[in-house]
Chains A and B, each alone.
Chain A
Amino acid sequence: MTSWWAATWLVAARELRQAARSRGLWATVAVLFLGSTAAMVLPEVFSGDDRSSYDVAVVLDDGDVELAALEAAIVQIVDAIDADVEVTEAPDVDTARQQVLDEEVDVAVAVADPPRILVRAGTFERLVGALRQALATQALVDGLLDAGLEPSEVEALLAAPPAEVEELDTEAERRQGAAFLLSLVAYVLILMLMVNVANGVAVEKGNRISEVLLAIVRPGPLLYGKVIGLAIVGFVHLAAGALPVVVKMLVGGDLPEGLGGALAGGIVWFALGIALYLLLAGALGALVERQEEASSVVSPLSLMLIAAYFAGATSADSPVAAVLAYIPLTSPMVMPSRIAVGAASGVDIVVSALLSVVAVVVAARVSAVVYRRAIVRTGRRLKLREVLGS
């Protein structure tokens, strides 16, 4: 006879081998990997407005203004928003307009009276702001010089560095977005694997494979092996999605601060959630013996999961979510979002995690009892109450 663990592992390994044969599995792994890779790489390629280097074309209509002076003003101001700027001269406004439309330059400045800034709609707001400030400064300088101040005096006036812009809490939103994506993936995976477990158990019961196996191994390894095997399948999916993020983190790509913590939290609760939901799904699957019945028998769990997911995704910092973050069946969906938005304290996290671990242990025991009793009662769909009561 094999040991309990050896039997459990053999059952899990069979699930893995069967899963590896399924094209659907590889397709979802590929989708997750490619989707995540795209999410990591595309922002670097099309980094949009918040670039660190800009191209600006200048049209000098006003004979009084010197390119060098304007360029110096622009560089100084743009430097205040932590960016470099390349200034080129365009012969006339029409050429500059075309350069902007062709994206040869980001913004064009026509120095006239009044000066004009040409920019494609909805782009480079920060740069436009900086350029307006540069033009205003230039106008001020011209005015002061016209009023008779010495250039050195004007220079002294302008020596005070421009106000620097300190952006606060831009990271929170991105972190929340990452947590949102993570819980979406966790939600879809748990839902999919839950149906998989229930389905597998029901088919084994229906085909009487369980009867052959129960004559060889105890019910525990049959249930736990299946749960472990499919949980590993879940982690393979998660890893496919997380790998590009980790790679980007390692090469020092631009990622929201604290994303690592949110990811780690997400993975811990994913593990807890998958253990809890798959164990319960295995027990429920033993109540039925047809594939069609398997997804309906786990529907209470699916509904719970959906509700928890929406609570976490839409209002992670609400009082309701604060309560749900403690309840083991909902915490796997809610807690990672709360960590990401900074609504969970260290105590919250530890207590919630401990409650979840206790719930997994209890679920493992209860599910094994239900499974053991229900798997040999064939012929009709069973009710949970009659199985627990018998």
Chain B
Amino acid sequence: MPGTLVARGIHQRFGDRVVLDGVDLEVPPGRVVGLLGPNGAGKTTLMRILFGVLSPDAGSVEWDGRPATDHDRRSWGYMPQERGLYRDMPVLEQLVWIARLHGLTAAEGEARARRLLEQLGLAERAKDKVQDLSGGMAQRVQLAAAMVHEPPLLVLDEPFAGLDPVAVAFLSAVIREHVAAGRNLLFSSHQLDLVEDLCEEITLIDRGKVVLSGNLAALRAASEERYLRVSVHVEDDWVDPGLAVVRSRNAAGSRLRLAPGADPGAVLDLVRAHGPVADFGVEAPSLSELFLDAAGHPVDEPGGDEPAPGGVAEAAR
């Protein structure tokens, strides 16, 4: 497919552990693609394979309708999950150096780096060392390092981890701007609720297998599941389990999963019998509910024998 990144049948094992078990992924141009799943699902390993940092045991990576070459890969931009910058190197110098590794001249690299720093609000800090920046600023420099050569494909591994809401909004805007220019973008996240509004295409991955993939709006519309959202805290025994089950509660209220054929109005009446409801809605499943349905467990509760989140991120060979 022209201008599309496609991974097919990726298998990867480390020792006895199967990390990826026949994963397919497609990143078309002009779309925000989310690679989503719990920690330890294999997202980072898949991204490393896309970039040739790891060679998979089986499977292929294609770009623009043919096997991806080293040359293709060097043209892409990658922001790894764990931030990687030389802490004792000045910001601008570091960006220019990375641009030159991508094959730009020093002058081109400097022009682009300055433009990018301006755009990311870091122009003032160009001469500062990375270690003198705040965490949020260092994160933006990291993003700049991935984008300084104006890559056709940008791959961001857990870009939202640890960001405050302002930074999340900022990064989301950068991501939308990138794809609006007809370029490709893939990012990973385990915080499904956070990226719900950003993703256009999703690939949900769990324990090394794709459990659901496609256009998010289409997947939601196609789902038989319907949820009743109410602005009150609903106890389990308020509603007959044959009609609806409380699936989540938070400060904003509760979400009840409606049984097939159940009348939302009848369920709402049962809730209202316990108190006034200021706001409610019947909704298609959220991203985390889609994951739950597809994987059989919530995204923040690893099912089965997963390694603990944040544990050994080992990658052999």
Residue positions of A touching B, CB distance < 8 A: 1-2, 6-7, 10, 14, 17-18, 21, 204, 207-218, 373, 376-380, 390
A18 and B89: CB pair below 8 A? yes
CB of B82 within 8 Å of the partner chain: yes
CB of B197 within 8 Å of the partner chain: no
B57-116 interface with A by 8 A CB criterion: 70-71, 73-76, 78-89, 93, 97-98, 100-103
A211 and B101: CB pair below 8 A? no
CB of B278 within 8 Å of the partner chain: no
A1 and B100: CB pair below 8 A? no
- Stretch in contact with the other chain, from B3-11, B48-56, B241-249: B48-56
Contact of B102 among A18, A21, A216 (CB under 8 A): A216
B82 and A1: CB pair below 8 A? no
Residues of B within 8 A of A213 (CB): 84, 101
Residues of B within 8 A of A6 (CB): 103
A211 and B53: CB pair below 8 A? yes
Which 9 A-B pairs have CB atoms at the shortest separation, nearest pair first? A208-B84, A1-B74, A379-B312, A215-B78, A208-B82, A209-B84, A212-B84, A215-B51, A211-B80
Residue positions of B touching A, CB distance < 8 A: 48, 51-54, 70-71, 73-76, 78-89, 93, 97-98, 100-103, 145-146, 311-317
Given contacts A215-B78, A376-B48, A376-B53, contact A2 B312 (CB under 8 A): no
Docked complex Cα distance between A204 and B54 (Å): 17
Most chain B beta-carbon neighbours within 10 Å: one of A21, A209, A218 = A209
B84 and A380: CB pair below 8 A? no
User: Distance in Å from the Cβ of A224 to the closest Cβ of chain B?
Assistant: 14
Instruction: Find the A residue at minimum CB distance from B77.
Output: A215
Given contacts A214-B53, A379-B313, contact A207 B87 (CB under 8 A): yes
User: Distance in Å from the Cβ of A21 to the closest Cβ of chain B?
Assistant: 8
Residues of A within 8 A of B317 (CB): 373, 376, 390
- 13 additional contacts, CB 8 Å, given A2-B103, A208-B81? A6-B103, A21-B88, A207-B83, A208-B82, A209-B84, A211-B53, A216-B74, A373-B316, A377-B315, A377-B316, A378-B315, A379-B312, A390-B317
A1 and B314: CB pair below 8 A? no
Residues of B within 8 A of A373 (CB): 316-317
Residues of B within 8 A of A377 (CB): 314-316
Docked complex Cα distance between A302 and B89 (Å): 29
Residues of A within 8 A of B78 (CB): 211-212, 215
B100 and A10: CB pair below 8 A? yes
A10 and B86: CB pair below 8 A? no
Given contacts A18-B89, A377-B315, A390-B317, contact A211 B84 (CB under 8 A): yes
- 29 interchain pairs, CB-CB under 8 A: A1-B71, A1-B75, A2-B102, A2-B103, A10-B97, A10-B100, A18-B88, A18-B89, A207-B82, A207-B85, A208-B80, A210-B84, A212-B79, A212-B84, A212-B85, A212-B98, A212-B145, A215-B51, A215-B73, A216-B74, A216-B98, A217-B74, A218-B70, A373-B316, A373-B317, A376-B317, A378-B313, A379-B312, A380-B314
Residues of B within 8 A of A212 (CB): 78-80, 84-85, 98, 145-146
Docked complex Cα distance between A379 and B313 (Å): 6
User: Distance in Å from the Cβ of A282 to the closest Cβ of chain B?
Assistant: 17
Residues of A within 8 A of B93 (CB): 17
A209 and B86: CB pair below 8 A? yes
User: Distance in Å from the Cβ of A1 to the closest Cβ of chain B?
Assistant: 4
Instruction: Find the B residue at minimum CB distance from A21.
Output: B88
Residues of B within 8 A of A376 (CB): 48, 53-54, 315, 317
Residues of B within 8 A of A379 (CB): 311-314
B314 and A211: CB pair below 8 A? no
Residues of A within 8 A of B311 (CB): 379
User: Distance in Å from the Cβ of B9 to the closest Cβ of chain A?
Assistant: 22
